Chain A
Amino acid sequence: MTHSAPAALELSKTLPLFRRALLDHWRSTAAWAVGLSAAILLYLPLFPSLGNSAEMQNMINALPPEMTRALNYDQIASGPGYTQATIFGLIGFLLMTIASVSWGASAVAGDEESGQLELTLAHAVNRAQVVLERALAIGVRIVLLSAVVFGLVWLLIGPAQLGIDTGNLFGASVLFAGLALLSGMTALFAGAVSGRKIYGTAAGAAVAVLGYVLNAIGRQSPDLEWLLNLSPYHWAYGNSPVTNGADWGVAFWLWAISAALAGLSAVALHRRDVGI
């Protein structure tokens, strides 16, 4: 053990906080990957018998159209529509949002509340570095999870008769990651401003839930369509990216706003007292 210590020490000198954050969270990252995989393996193989059948279409037709629109089930009879509605739009979105928001809220505020941030900041680091390296670690974890989703769905395209274009799947995965990152970075920012994990969690969850709700309401009538402009969920999924391909402009903005929130978090933490 001792002889390997200098090497390990040398290795951890580049981006030490980023590396520590990744290592500290590898268990939870793996657990979320398992959860997402389980959801995908539960939903997608059912498509040939469920979504692709006439009975299913009849059932969807029998539902109130408002409900169908709210759940994004209007295209559920097609493979891409089914994947969009179940995985990217619902269960995957939910799991990724929870993961991202909890990471975002704990990266600064949670660490501060548990009393551990104080000791880190007493070392030779500056606060912006702490925030940005940890934000980067969250980004990397989200990209990893999205890659798992992309890979697993891609493997199931043939077996589950989904008929999804790989490029569209990739685009949808990028938007999927961006959407989760936006909630996570909102949580990071609110946590960095307030020092309270609960505020971070609330803010991150609010972005996701309000985005989802505004999308559901906005789709109900032309009078309410303006609400869609306020919904990050709709920015990402409004044109059904699994079916139609990603709007790369939106993808850029989701990631850019997230990066800006990480930057603002660094500024917010820099300006205030820690651990009071």
Chain B
Amino acid sequence: MLWVQGKKGACAMSQVIEVDGLRKSFGRREVLHGIGFGVERGEVFGVIGPNGAGKTTTMRCLLDIIRPTSGSIRILGQDPGVAGPKLRRRIGYLPGELFLEQRITGRRLLAHYAAISGTVRPGRADELAERFNLDLDRHTRKLSKGNKQKLGLVQAFMHDPEVLILDEPTSGLDPLIQQEFRSLLSEVQRNGQTVFLSSHVLSEVQQAADRVAILRDGDIVRIASVANLREGAHRQIRISVTGVSPAELEVLLRDVPGLQTNHVHATGTLTDVSATHEGAIQPLIRALAPLQLADLVIEEPDLEESVLTLYGSATKHLAVDSGAGGRTQR
């Protein structure tokens, strides 16, 4: 659990989503094993995990589409199972799998959803559709997957809900639209709207969210800010120096916190080291500063990998092979 209820009583009041001890079983199979988290007002909170980790189940519980086996849920201070339509009016929801097969135009479909949700400001749907470059006069079933996703986003955002629950919101969107989506997220965040979103790709969440919950097999493995997560991640480092022997260099680097030397070898006057590093960068730089550096490569921390180590060792190998993460030369 991330927050202490007794101590931060006042803080919990401002929490828009509070989940505590949430369990859900389908028949004998328990898919959520008592998870808990809180989302502050105006926060973008991401949940990531592999498919089947329980992200969609959690979201469906929040909307009272499925009922928790035990545990408590509070959204805007109310229990979704009791508050019903009045509460859902204040929520915008994008389902993970969006099926829009009606023979009607996007505009008519939005008018229908507007009729069963909170008040939609005139022109708001058109405004959002324009931002996403979506034609509302086309029949929904003829839309491509990406365009259906845009329509789904418009219906989630159009009544300016206090809470947005978005299951894999960027799936199927091209990079430009993803960027538009992220700028929309910062806008609604500035409006004080709260966003709870999920993804199975970390890079999506790390760009959009303030904090991330990592879900694995129905348990929250960790809740952390994106910055914290980054700190805990491993950087790949390569160092080339002149005038120092491999043995001397190993001694020099031995005491740098978080540094793990993997491989040291000398070619001519050059000594090469490859290593991994986690934690603060400053001590490393200080240790390297007196050396005659020929080359230094520090790769951007691979969050994907660090998260996947939390998922479990089996998936880790897969992730390393896929080689995600950019590199930076300094």
Contact = CB atoms under 8 A, between A and B. Distances in A.
Interface of A: 1-2, 5-6, 8-9, 12-13, 16-17, 20, 23-24, 27, 114-116, 118-126, 273-276
Contact of B116 (A16, A23, A116, A274): A16
A116 B84 contact: no
Given A9-B115, A115-B95, A124-B118, 5 more contacts: A5-B107, A12-B115, A119-B95, A122-B88, A275-B60
In order of increasing CB-CB distance, the 10 nearest A-B pairs are A273-B66, A115-B99, A124-B89, A16-B115, A122-B93, A124-B85, A123-B116, A12-B115, A123-B117, A122-B63
B228 interface: no
B107 A1 contact: yes
B281 interface: no
Nearest to A120: B116
Contacts of A124: 85-86, 88-89, 116-118
A7 to B, nearest CB: 10
A274 B65 contact: yes
B65 A122 contact: yes
Given A122-B65, A124-B86, A9 B114 contact: yes
A126 B114 CA distance: 15
A114 B99 contact: yes
Contacts of A126: 84-85
B115 A122 contact: no
Interface residues of B, number: 40
Nearest to B99: A115
Interface string B118-137: 10101100100000000001
Given A23-B104, A24-B102, A116-B99, A12 B65 contact: no
A125 B114 CA distance: 12
A118 B86 contact: no
B65 A121 contact: yes
Nearest to B26: A276
Contact of B115 (A13, A115, A121, A276): A13
A123 B65 contact: no
A65 B67 CA distance: 58
Contacts of B142: none
| Interface hub of A12, A16, A116, A122 (most chain B Cβ within 10 A) | A122
Nearest to A125: B116
B95 A118 contact: yes
A116 B112 contact: no
B284 interface: no
Contacts of B107: 1, 5
Contact of A5 (B89, B103, B111, B118): B111
A123 B85 CA distance: 7
A123 B92 CA distance: 8
B137 A119 contact: no
B85 A125 contact: yes
B227 to A, nearest CB: 32
A9 B159 CA distance: 13
Given A8-B111, A16-B115, A122 B91 contact: yes
Contacts of A8: 108, 111
A13 to B, nearest CB: 5
Contacts of B97: 115
B88 A123 contact: yes
